[in-house]
């Protein structure tokens, strides 16, 4: 999960993280509350390959749509994320790849949408009607402890779910909706309060009372933004992190089917479960591969709050799944799976299996402070990756047309 990277502040040369808790994710444990099964509501009826049983690839003509995070933008003169998106699309022989960015969480002014960020993306979307922006939106800006922002609107005032549930913060989100419309981003997908089941953001949910307040606040935001003329096509992603143990019943944090368009699962190849990562230093390649496969099956699929759980949850609420962030992972604490083409292969299979009803996915192609994930070339064409096997497998599976790619040059 992205403890350090979700809401980023752009500088003229780089992105740096805002304050967040970096405590390691505890291993999945306990029993997830049961989910009643129901028939899913299909996103669409995309063509299926009769030989593989998977959805046939397209250049974002139908679900599952492909997106990428390649960094933010800093005004019209430094649209680094846009340049990265173009390089990524070329790497996959695609004309269209949706983009992803995140608003800074430092103060309310940024939550309302800065022209330095929205105008470049708006221009980019206008150039091709098939393009779309996925935008992360903080719901409690400022310090991790909820004590508020250090400057700007309502500085040094406590910010919490309960106050948000009264409608006290609605004006900020009304202004955001107006600015999205102004910059031709009225069809964006918004990720409100991402990874709220983790412990690293100010909007973390701990316990059922907080979960209920989170849901009530969410309803206020969505109702407010949808009421703005021109914002009717905005869509909203309810976005926990996969595998994070929930200290609350997820149903308590659910705002209601009418207020959510997608259930998004941020999924990284890392694990703190016993017997997984890191593997012993003297492990053979075969032993490492066996551990990587065990992590997929026992943590990501069958673990508490794993894919099996969330698939049933989505079916119950008649919502499609999405993967707003996903990626292989080299972590500083060695709890990532490293160069793992098996993870890429299994994610591709899950995403493109029509039974899983996945609407879209965004690979997090970026070197974050709490984990490295980059597979594709940089915007200048430089091909350097820590994951040559994973990069080759990704390019093979997600390129148009599918190709067998040579592995890129790895870092020393």
- The alpha carbon torsion through 371, 374, 379, 382 (nearest 10 deg) reads 110
- CA angle (328, 330, 336) in 5-degree steps: 75
| Longest Cα–Cα distance in the chain | 61
CA distance 268 to 330: 10
- pLDDT for residue 16 is more than 90: no
- pLDDT tens digits for range 184-233: 999 999 999 999 999 899 999 999 999 999 999 999 999 999 999 999 99
Residue 39 lies in a domain: yes
Residue 406 lies in a domain: no
Residue 155 lies in a domain: yes
For the ranges 54-58, 212-216, 245-249, 346-350, the lowest mean pLDDT is seen at 245-249
Helix (H, G, I), strand (E, B) or coil at 385: strand
- pLDDT tens digits for range 323-345: 999 999 999 999 999 999 999 99
Residue 224 lies in a domain: yes
Q: N- to C-terminal Cα distance for the chain? A: 26
Residue 405 lies in a domain: no
The count of structural domains within the chain is 1
132: CATH: 3.20.20.80
The whole-angstrom distance between residue 246's C-alpha and the CA centroid of its chain comes to 18
Count, in order, helices (H) and strands (E) of the chain: 11, 13
Structure tokens at 334: 């060695």
Give the residue carrying structure tokens 């390959």: 49
The β-bridge partners of 371 are 368
Helix (H, G, I), strand (E, B) or coil at 325: strand
- pLDDT tens digits for range 77-98: 999 999 999 999 999 999 999 9
Determine what percent of the chain is predicted with pLDDT higher than 90: 78
- pLDDT tens digits for range 270-287: 999 999 999 999 999 999
- pLDDT for residue 405 is more than 50: no
Q: Containing domain of residue 42, as a range?
A: 8-398
Residue 394 lies in a domain: yes
**Spatial CA neighbour of 345 closest among 383, 309, 406, 393:** 393
Ramachandran angles phi, psi of 176, nearest 5°: -60, -45
pLDDT reported for residue 302: 96
- CA angle (139, 362, 246) in 5-degree steps: 50
Residue 337 lies in a domain: yes
pLDDT reported for residue 45: 83
Residue 287 lies in a domain: yes
- Average pLDDT for the chain: 88
pTM reported for the whole predicted model: 0.90
How sure is the predictor about 403, in pLDDT bands with cuts at 50, 70 and 90?
low
């Amino acid at each position: 999960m992205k403890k350090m990277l979700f809401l980023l502040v752009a500088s003229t040369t780089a992105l740096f993280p805002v304050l967040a808790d970096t405590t390691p994710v505890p291993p999945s444990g306990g029993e997830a509350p049961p989910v009643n099964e129901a028939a899913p509501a299909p996103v669409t009826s995309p063509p299926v390959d009769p030989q593989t049983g998977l959805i046939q690839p397209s250049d974002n003509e139908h679900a599952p749509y492909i997106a990428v995070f390649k960094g933010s933008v800093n005004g019209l003169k430094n649209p680094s994320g846009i340049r990265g998106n173009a390089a990524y699309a070329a790497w996959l022989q695609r004309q269209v790849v949706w983009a992803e960015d995140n608003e800074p969480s430092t103060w309310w002014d940024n939550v309302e949408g800065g022209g330095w960020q929205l105008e470049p993306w708006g221009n980019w979307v206008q150039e091709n009607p098939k393009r779309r922006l996925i935008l992360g939106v903080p719901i409690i800006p400022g310090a991790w402890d909820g004590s508020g922002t250090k400057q700007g609107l309502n500085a040094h005032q406590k910010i919490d779910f309960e106050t948000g549930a009264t409608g006290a913060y609605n004006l900020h989100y009304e202004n955001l909706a107006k600015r999205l419309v102004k910059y031709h981003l009225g069809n964006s997908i918004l990720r409100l309060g991402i990874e709220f089941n983790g412990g690293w953001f100010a909007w973390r949910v701990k316990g059922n009372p907080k979960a209920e307040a989170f849901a009530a606040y969410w309803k206020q935001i969505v109702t407010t933004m949808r009421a703005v003329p021109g914002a009717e096509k905005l869509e909203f992603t309810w976005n926990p992190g996969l595998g994070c143990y929930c200290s609350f019943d997820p149903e308590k944090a659910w705002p209601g089917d009418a207020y959510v368009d997608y259930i998004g699962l941020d999924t990284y190849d890392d694990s703190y479960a016993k017997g997984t990562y890191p593997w012993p230093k003297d492990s053979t390649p075969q032993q490492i591969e066996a551990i990587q496969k065990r992590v997929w099956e026992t943590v990501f699929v069958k673990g508490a709050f794993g894919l099996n759980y969330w698939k049933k949850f989505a079916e119950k609420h008649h919502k499609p799944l999405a993967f707003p962030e996903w990626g292989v992972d080299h972590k500083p604490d060695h709890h990532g799976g490293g160069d793992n083409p098996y993870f890429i292969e299994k994610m591709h299979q899950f995403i493109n299996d029509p039974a899983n009803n996945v609407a879209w996915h965004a690979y997090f192609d970026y070197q974050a402070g709490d984990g490295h994930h980059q597979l594709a070339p940089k915007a200048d064409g430089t091909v350097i990756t820590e994951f040559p096997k994973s990069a080759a497998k990704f390019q093979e599976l997600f390129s148009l047309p599918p190709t067998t790619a040579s592995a890129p040059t790895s870092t020393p």
